[in-house]
Structure 1
Amino acid sequence: ETRDFINVTNISRELERKQTGLSEALISFHALTGCDYNSAFYQKGKSVPFSYLEKDPDYVEALKSLCTNAVDKPAVTAFVCRIYGFKALDDINEARHQSFTRMTKRKQQAVHVKKINCSSLPPCEKVLYQHVLRANFVATMWSHAHTKQPTKDLHPLNYGWIANDDGLYVPHWYEGEALPDTLSSEDSEPVHEREEMTLALDAVVDPRDNYAENMRKYDMDVADVDDDSELDDQPWSDDSESECEDED
């Protein structure tokens, strides 16, 4: 049987030559961007996010904080915004809104959408908060793996998990309701506005169905609409850059 031995010390030294603290931040980086305990950011992979991390000492310090009980949440959020292609944003909700706007090409009318993959959007703030809690738990546990009790003073229920009916821990995706009251309450808006919203959501969920008909309902010119045009179904690579990458 052949065994390969990897010199981890040399790897750590090489990482430190690239950026001070990078080897320590690598633990949190893996916990944040996807591991056995925590979900990954859809189609973002590891290579491109790591290229951002190794070039920016602020991101390194932010991820190092995930191994502690004093997480720098604004800085971690800014790093996630960077993963989704936003260099100057540290507001994940704004990044999500801008991503949606760029996908639809229009700010107000979602019925113009031919195809939206909502999984490609950045997470909203309350979802990211739970994700960061789980990353904090995992990174702290891993960074204390050499101790007798790596999870001392840590409990999954306080770090982004809930117990299901079988007593197993499952991710707690967010606190509160999925939709704002203005969208979920029947008394919050006139009937015709709710019908327009339903039409818009239908266009997002299944853009191939009745697209031209929906456009006509809004008295729009459909002469240039190609109902038979093929949609780009090519899968993205795991390390592909975001389509909404800001210009340098």
Structure 2
Amino acid sequence: MASCIVQLHYMTGCNGNSCFYGKGKKSVYDQVMKSPVAQPQLSRSRDSLDLDEEVVGHFFEFTRQVIYGDHRSKTMAEAHTKKWKSIKNKSFLHLPPDADSLCQHCLRPNYLAYLMWHPFLKHHPSPIGHCWELVDGRCRPVRHTQPALPKHLPSPSPAEASEEAEIDYDDGKDDDVNQNALIRTDHVSQCHDNMQHNTKRKM
């Protein structure tokens, strides 16, 4: 546990990094203590300032399995979608981060842990380029590098296109039924108004 406690602290929120909404340090710490897999996932992030894909993959697995308790999803996109379907009161705050945002989140604890585990460096490496950037002369964390929405959407497969067509057809039938019901309701209301008007004239 000693080999990953620093990384765990930085990963779950500190002065230099954000936390995961609703995920306290104590609960995550207890899970890491019991997990023989979670500790190696974090321990390798202190060796180099540059994270390779394997270490990033360990960070992603740690986030899915330990932070959000999802042991089935293989990607952050899959975990994101699965969580959204499972929550009753829909809120973006409770969703796992997307892959791009999480990658930036992981770069910060890696940088901070590297400094902590290498205290005798003669030259302090700059945070700029390691998930921080200069904005108006101030050092700011990089939250994401990709746009919120994709610029291009992939074409749906024939099966997906057929499914969407069926959904649109069913929605169209529902709209027709609702429209007919609305017309009948208006007709009944109009007849009722005419009857009241004729009754008043006779009186």
Same fold (TM > 0.5): yes
Equivalent residue number for residue 194 of structure 2: none
Counterpart contact for 1:77–1:90, Cα < 8 Å: no
Q: State the distance in 2 between where 1:26 and 1:218 align.
A: 61
Aligned match for 1:89, one of 67, 73, 78: 73
Amino acid in structure 2 at the alignment position of 1:181: K
Q: State the distance in 1 between where 2:12 and 2:110 align.
A: 12
TM-score, scaled relative to structure 1: 0.56
The answer to whether residue 144 in structure 2 is matched with residue 174 in structure 1 is yes
**Residue 85 to residue 164, structure 1, CA distance change in 2 (3 Å):** same
Q: Which has the larger radius of gyration?
A: 2
Aligned match for 1:156, one of 124, 127, 137: 127
Aligned pairs, number: 153
Q: Which runs of 5+ in 2 are unaligned?
A: 154-173, 179-203
**Residue 98 to residue 55, structure 1, CA distance change in 2 (3 Å):** same
SS of the counterpart of 2:2? helix
Equivalent residue number for residue 131 of structure 1: 105
Amino acid in structure 2 at the alignment position of 1:144: H
SS of the counterpart of 2:140? strand
Give 1:217 deviation, angstroms: 7.6
Q: Give aligned-pair identity as a percent.
A: 26
Equivalent residue number for residue 108 of structure 1: none
Amino acid in structure 2 at the alignment position of 1:177: P
Amino acid in structure 2 at the alignment position of 1:79: F
The answer to whether residue 117 in structure 2 is matched with residue 143 in structure 1 is yes
Q: State the distance in 1 between where 2:14 and 2:128 align.
A: 19
Q: State the distance in 2 between where 1:182 and 1:79 align.
A: 30
TM-score, scaled relative to structure 2: 0.68
The answer to whether residue 82 in structure 2 is matched with residue 98 in structure 1 is yes
Counterpart contact for 1:78–1:89, Cα < 8 Å: no
Q: For 1:19-52, what per-residue CA distance to the aligned partner results, in whole angstroms no more than 9, with x for missing partners?
A: xxx0120000001111110000111011221122
Q: Which runs of 5+ in 1 are unaligned?
A: 1-21, 105-114, 184-215, 221-248
**Residue 142 to residue 179, structure 1, CA distance change in 2 (3 Å):** same
Q: State the distance in 2 between where 1:100 and 1:157 align.
A: 34
